[in-house]
Structure 1
Amino acid sequence: MTVKAILTAAALALGVTAPALAADSVTLDFYHSQLPFLPSLIEGFRKAHPDIVIHDLAPAASYSAGDQTVIRGMMTGTAPDVYLASYASLASIADVMKDRGNAQSLDPLFAKEGKAWTAANYPPAILDLAKVGGEQYAMPFTASLPLLYVNKELVEKAGGTIDHFPSTWDGVIDLAAKISKFGDGVQGIGFSVGGLSDDWYWQMMVMSAGDRMLNDESTGIGYDNKAGLEALRVTQDIAVKTGMSVYADPKPAQQQFFAGKIGIVVESPSDLVAYETAIGDRFTMRTVRFPLIDAEKGGLPAGGNALMVLANDPAKRAAAWEFIKYMTSVAVQAEVSKASGYMPVNVQSASALQGFYADHPNFQTVFASTPAARPWFAYPNNTADGVWKGVAPILDQLQRGKLTADAALPMIRDHVAGVMASQ
């Protein structure tokens, strides 16, 4: 069944029809980056709510491009009514709303629904992803926590099993080292922490060690401590102790994994469908939870996006809330998970997905990681790019064995402090 057919079936399951458009309809401009399953969802909502017109704007080329368009629109009065923003963008957009004196969180709308309704649908760890300064400025729509994508045959050849996969990084590193000994171009793991265009991989390591990206004053790193050193040690061991090839881009490791030449890679669950398609029947791929360096204090940065209401008009805000409730409903969230691999943000979707999970265990792994979800850290004053341009090369050298953890930490500390001081 195609993605469109799946989502159309979900709309029909909700009992929607297509009555005539109401005379007193409300129109909402909806802006987002392209997601392949959104058009079918929007069509389902239109049928369920004929009195609310969703004007689906041309999608943004990327989250950053969308953010800039929205911020300009807020300055000129042309902002969309509803914006699907990345978690990393929420604080910046909320700050602009506050500066312009039109900041309105979703808290009053949640209050009208009642605490029991909220608790029954949305776990606190999920809602926290879209909070700014303790206020609910957006509703989570999709969520992804990092997973290990594993070649089952290579793991078993090395003496491991999926059911008893290592739960610590030291165990994963030992298993990956055994896989690397097979020869013929096979490597145990592909996880170049400095190889992304942003610091999502590095946030995984710092947060899983129970640390923060910046200190309370936002003047420097929050991991200038023993836990930070441990995050750097593990980052280096992943590469050095397994003979891993370090890349400046994740694509080479992905392609080698597809070809059956790498045992373990780190990925988002949103790539599950794409990975399964690319691998075909070459080998059996399974997903396992990303190990926390500190099992008690550690967490993981959640990727994904959230629905923000930028409209101030009461009628539009009420209509936008109906749109948000539909998009995060049990049935729709279950179907989005099937179509993409994203973790459902509605806790009741787990029951709706039981049969699907039984047949597709790879999709269930991320849902089991929900308690570890933490907000993706957003650097203040658009400093994320400046921070990462200095940190990434240090991590690259660390994984190549050209720097020790003890040498890397002060280099990162000084660079980040310099970036923060220049603002």
Structure 2
Amino acid sequence: MRRLKATLAATATLLSLALPAWADEPVTLTFYHPQLPWIGSVIESFNATHTGVVIEDQAPAENYSAGDQNVIRGLMTNSAPDVYLASYSGVPSLASILEDRGLDVSLSGFMEEEGEAWVEQNYADAILSLARVGDEQYAMPFTASLPIVYVNKEMIEAAGGSVDDFPTTWDGVIELAQKVNQLGDGSIGLSFSVGGLSDDWFWQMLVMASGNSMLNAEATGIGFDNAAGMEALRITQDMAVKTDMTVYATPTPATQQFLAGKVGMVVESPSEIVGYGKAIGDRFTMRTVKFPLIDAENGGLPAGGAALMMLAQDEKKQAAAWEFMKYMTSGETQANVSRASGYMPTNKQTAEVLKDFYAENPNFLTAFSEMDAARPWFAYPDNTADDVWKGVAPVLDQLQRGKISPQEAMTMVRDHVTSVMANK
């Protein structure tokens, strides 16, 4: 962390601001975000070098969901933060609530003032779209995590596989997992319990990878009631049934088994790269590879992560907040955040900054190389995500346990989602 602070300080010196024309005295902004162990260093470096803006770091939220609820309560009591770090899935709901209250602040105008060339130099449209609602840029992408496959290199090679020639299809992954199982000594080829998260990120991966959307255009039912959607369900079952995979209700057991060197492949966010690497030490070689798309041409992947929303209403605070957002999403800052966390950077210039780092640390490059497949994490209308997932998760659990067929799962998921949408 000390190294991160030093690097960030050097970066901030290059980006520092004298007291800007719009601020006759320093402007203080409140910044609210979920618990992130490395973000304090970024804020400290900004404050140390930006004389016109002071960031007041508020006590962090337990998670994004709790943070969203606290922000909503703050809007009702005129105590909302000036800048909020929201999950991509939370941005549309918050933007809708803000718009209903006449408090929404679009960043599109700020970006237009910077100029089209500046935007093009820094941000890919696929990344900006993660925090866009309709035609308005309501937040600036700060962290991004596309799903990747974590691999035990030694186990994969012992089974006749190769990290550098890793399967590009799920059937290929399943076949490789079967071979890892045969290594004996309790070896487990693959662990990927699709219904085992508190949200549907794992399930969105498979639906989007098949080229589908979570809901139909009318938002009355599922958007994957087709052959490609059935293929996603077939793969979801095969990866468990054909590899004798233990289906878990949470990701914790799979993570523990992978870190202990018992599992050949797990699916996770790139934000785990640093933590996993430290936990594994020299027990085995951890590598990362791309998440296979079911439809190589039309498939995509839901981006996890978070974006910076401007809630400040005062014009001077808005100008200050924009400077803070530019710093947080700049190429150099994003490079430092990526090194510290494993998150995929959201600024295009970061690729050049991290060129040597990626060469020495190929695990960090995997998610960045998936950028073209990035899709917004789907946000269900009228805050119905929890209701949808409470009915879908048990179906996927039973599917992976071999208790029901893909056809039966499709019917059950279709009926449940249709019911939730009809009562929203």
Partner of 2:349: 348
Partner of 2:8: 10
Partner of 1:225: 226
SS in 2 for 1:364: helix
SS in 1 for 2:283: coil
Amino acid at match of 2:157: E
- Whether the 8 Å contact between 1:19 and 1:47 is mirrored in structure 2 is no
Partner of 1:387: 388
CA RMSD of aligned residues (A): 1.5
- Whether the 8 Å contact between 2:12 and 2:45 is mirrored in structure 1 is no
CA deviations on 1:123-182 (whole Å, 9 max, x unpaired) are 011000000112100000000000000000111011111111111111111101110112
Label 1:14 to 1:75 Cα distance change in 2 as closer, same or farther (>3 A): closer
Partner of 1:192: 193
SS in 2 for 1:95: helix
1:361 aligns with 2:362: yes
Partner of 2:86: 85
Label 1:113 to 1:294 Cα distance change in 2 as closer, same or farther (>3 A): same
Label 1:418 to 1:307 Cα distance change in 2 as closer, same or farther (>3 A): same
- For residues 187 and 175 of structure 2, what CA distance do their matches in structure 1 show? 15
- Whether the 8 Å contact between 2:19 and 2:25 is mirrored in structure 1 is no
SS in 2 for 1:55: strand
Once the two structures are overlaid, the 10-residue window that deviates more, 298-307 or 102-111, is 102-111
- Measure how far apart 1:53 and its partner are: 1.2
- For residues 56 and 259 of structure 2, what CA distance do their matches in structure 1 show? 39
Q: Map of 1:231-242 to 2, 5 A cutoff?
A: 231-242=232-243
TM-score, normalisation: structure 2: 0.97
Structure 1 residue runs without a partner (length 5+): none
- Measure how far apart 1:5 and its partner are: 2.4
- For residues 94 and 20 of structure 1, what CA distance do their matches in structure 2 show? 31
- For residues 149 and 223 of structure 1, what CA distance do their matches in structure 2 show? 27
- Measure how far apart 1:8 and its partner are: 2.7
Partner of 2:205: 204
Q: Map of 1:89-238 to 2, 5 A cutoff?
A: 89-238=90-239
Amino acid at match of 1:241: K
- Measure how far apart 1:4 and its partner are: 3.6
Number of matched pairs:
421
- Whether the 8 Å contact between 1:8 and 1:40 is mirrored in structure 2 is no
SS in 2 for 1:9: helix
- Whether the 8 Å contact between 1:7 and 1:332 is mirrored in structure 2 is no
- Measure how far apart 1:20 and its partner are: 10
Q: Map of 1:19-30 to 2, 5 A cutoff?
A: 24-30=25-31
Amino acid at match of 1:236: Q
CA deviations on 1:355-385 (whole Å, 9 max, x unpaired) are 1111111001110000000000111111111
Once the two structures are overlaid, the 10-residue window that deviates more, 401-410 or 17-26, is 17-26
- Whether the 8 Å contact between 2:169 and 2:292 is mirrored in structure 1 is yes
Amino acid at match of 1:6: L
Amino acid at match of 1:363: F
CA deviations on 1:224-275 (whole Å, 9 max, x unpaired) are 1111101000101111111111111111111111111110000100010111
Amino acid at match of 1:283: F
Partner of 1:44: 45
SS in 2 for 1:149: strand
- Whether the 8 Å contact between 2:17 and 2:51 is mirrored in structure 1 is yes
SS in 2 for 1:355: helix
CA deviations on 1:331-375 (whole Å, 9 max, x unpaired) are 110010000100010011011101111111100111000000000
1:416 aligns with 2:417: yes
- Measure how far apart 1:419 and its partner are: 1.1
TM-score, normalisation: structure 1: 0.97
- Whether the 8 Å contact between 1:7 and 1:335 is mirrored in structure 2 is no
- Measure how far apart 1:280 and its partner are: 0.8
- For residues 84 and 127 of structure 2, what CA distance do their matches in structure 1 show? 18
Amino acid at match of 1:274: G
- For residues 182 and 163 of structure 1, what CA distance do their matches in structure 2 show? 21
SS in 1 for 2:13: coil
Identity %: 62
- Measure how far apart 1:12 and its partner are: 1.6
Partner of 1:313: 314
- Measure how far apart 1:42 and its partner are: 0.7
Amino acid at match of 1:69: N
Amino acid at match of 2:141: P
- Whether the 8 Å contact between 2:163 and 2:287 is mirrored in structure 1 is yes
Partner of 1:250: 251
Structure 2 residue runs without a partner (length 5+): none
